[in-house]
Amino acid sequence: MSSEGAPDGNFIASAGPLTVNLGGKGKVEDHMAAATELHFKSAAELARMIQSREISSRELLEHFIARTVLHNPKINAIVASDFDAAREKALAADEALARGEVWGPLHGLPMTIKDAYEVKGLTSTGGSPEYEDHVPERSAAPVERIEKAGANIFGKTNVPFLSGDLQTFNDVYGTTNNPWNLACGPGGSSGGSAAALAAGLTGLEIGSDIGGSIRTPAHLCGVFGHKSTFGIIPKRGHISPPPGHLAEGDLSVAGPLGRSAEDLDLLLSIVAGPDEIASEGWKLDLAPARATSPKNLRVAVWIDDPFCDIDTESAALLNNAAKALEDAGAKVDWSARPDFTLEWSNEVYLTLLHSITASRFPETVKQRLSDMRAKLPADDRSHLSLQARGANISYADRLVWHEHQARLKAAWVDFFRDYDVVLAPMLMRPAFPHDQQSNWHKRRIAVNGKEREYFDVLIWAGPAMVAHLPASVAPVGLTSEGLPVGVQIIGPHFGDRTTIAVAGMLEELLGGFRAPPGF
């Protein structure tokens, strides 16, 4: 976390856990008076403005710094920074552009990075007190690609402890609030990323997703997010696992967040591709979108399911999104389903997920789950049962579950012969109040006036996750309480361009990103 000196005449302001230095004289508002709406433009548009010299990189950086000073104390989204270094890079970007040099598609664009990713020279904690003083000497793989594309990284955004929750809080930086309702969380684990984008504090973000960690915050904060096809973006330098680890898991992925579908496509093009080891033997060549307008699009709608009740207002907004595509010419099937149940997909997903997440549990917790597993009835399919079984799974048993996973993938292949995308919920409801009980099994989440287990927040994250499919989230409207709702757009394996294209269609039809009141 930076603590910057104050030259004479500079304005110093406290912004939650980070200390910022606003270069130049005057009040915060003075820095924003000339371009009030800059902060809500898409990253793609801001990048074009810099390269066409409508605005300088330094001016845009100061604008976002001013926004951070003014609004970050309310939401605590940006938690570490180095504005002095960012100012030097912004000046260098402007000087390079004056010489006719363009560093890349993100030339001079100010942006932040989820604190799960290591950024060279910036404190990178992963939300863990153990890494509170960790300042990497090398950036994570996707961050290196972002830097090479010319971006100017000025800060880090908050995460849960080791990115292991659907709410964003930790003992290093505290709690991040949702810009739409400060009493609610922004989702997790890319909660700081989505909150900063929604509040207009940053130009672009990259998240990671193993349990909806890109898609859920995008849904809850009213921005766009994309969970990439598994394996197309290397994650070396992501915390967890601990810093220095090279092996990657078999579910988690990286992916972009932004204020437009175009932003998702832009950043995906920059960060996707083989890692250093594989780059000698293969290259990524994603297929173009299956459809570029609703008239050529085949849509399946999977919004209602007996296994997971959806908030009625959210369901209405999701159905309205499907109807908008249908009215625009898309072929929409309101009853199509892949050849498996949501319940079965969820069991396969959670068993594999818990086998991964339990690897970092203390031995005492692992033993308690092992003791619990021995006492469980064979037909118990509760979340606690799935966690206990997954946490203690043998290698031989895990191979059996990998076969179940392969069969789910095969069922999706058959399904996507007839459909281009599936529209589904991301979560059963819009933003919900903070609940920071350490025991997830004691937490509850209300849906249509009834309490559900907190682990149910993972249900709709599962189908795309366990089958390694791409899935984009696009905002589709607000509830009567003024909370955003996003639709999940699931596509075929390597169909990332297709799901992002459909997010763009919905953006055009329904208006896309909206700014939260007061920001």
- Say yes or no: 190 and 229 in one domain: yes
Measured in whole angstroms, how far is the alpha carbon of residue 448 from the centre of its chain? 26
Give a yes or no: residue 513 inside a domain.
no
- Say yes or no: 245 and 300 in one domain: no
* Beta-sheet strand order (sheet of 110-114): 78-81, 152-157, 110-114
- Asked if the model's pLDDT at residue 421 lies above 80, the reply is yes
Give a yes or no: residue 484 inside a domain.
yes
Q: CA distances (Å), 463 to each of 309, 347, 512, in order?
A: 16, 10, 25
Give a yes or no: residue 6 inside a domain.
no
Strands 253-258 and 224-227: antiparallel
Residue 117 has φ and ψ, to the nearest 5°, of -100, 135
Tens of pLDDT, residues 287-342: 999 999 999 999 999 999 999 999 999 999 999 999 999 999 999 999 999 999 99
Q: 276, 311, 326 — which closes off a domain?
A: 276
- Say yes or no: 306 and 245 in one domain: no
Position 247 scores a pLDDT of: 81
Identify the DSSP state of 57: H
Position 285 scores a pLDDT of: 96
- Say yes or no: 304 and 268 in one domain: no
Strands 152-157 and 110-114: parallel
- Say yes or no: 52 and 166 in one domain: yes
Total domains in the fold of the chain: 2
Mean pLDDT of 390-397: 87
Give a yes or no: residue 486 inside a domain.
yes
Give a yes or no: residue 516 inside a domain.
no
Domain extent at residue 449: 294-505
Supply the CATH number for residue 366's domain.
3.90.1300.10
Of 56, 74, 54, 67, the residue nearest 22 (C-alpha): 67
- Say yes or no: 389 and 431 in one domain: yes
Of 89, 99, 144, 97, the residue nearest 119 (C-alpha): 144
Neighbours of 29 (CB within 10 A): 10
Position 2 scores a pLDDT of: 35
Q: 242, 276, 310 — which closes off a domain?
A: 276
Position 35 scores a pLDDT of: 39
Position 376 scores a pLDDT of: 81
pLDDT over 90 percentage in the chain: 81
- Asked if the model's pLDDT at residue 30 lies above 60, the reply is no
Position 12 scores a pLDDT of: 26
Position 64 scores a pLDDT of: 98
Q: 246, 276, 306 — which closes off a domain?
A: 276
Of 313, 304, 218, the residue nearest 260 (C-alpha): 218
Of 72, 73, 201, 20, the residue nearest 11 (C-alpha): 20
Give a yes or no: residue 4 inside a domain.
no
- Say yes or no: 143 and 239 in one domain: yes
- Say yes or no: 20 and 103 in one domain: yes
Give a yes or no: residue 3 inside a domain.
no
Give a yes or no: residue 138 inside a domain.
yes
- Say yes or no: 272 and 318 in one domain: no
- Asked if the model's pLDDT at residue 434 lies above 80, the reply is yes
The least confident of 220-229, 394-403, 500-509 is 394-403
- Say yes or no: 330 and 254 in one domain: no
Rama region for 153: left / alpha / beta (φ>0; ψ in -120 to 50; rest): beta
Could you give the CA distance from residue 215 to residue 204 in angstroms, rounded to a whole number?
15
- Say yes or no: 272 and 299 in one domain: no
- Say yes or no: 215 and 320 in one domain: no
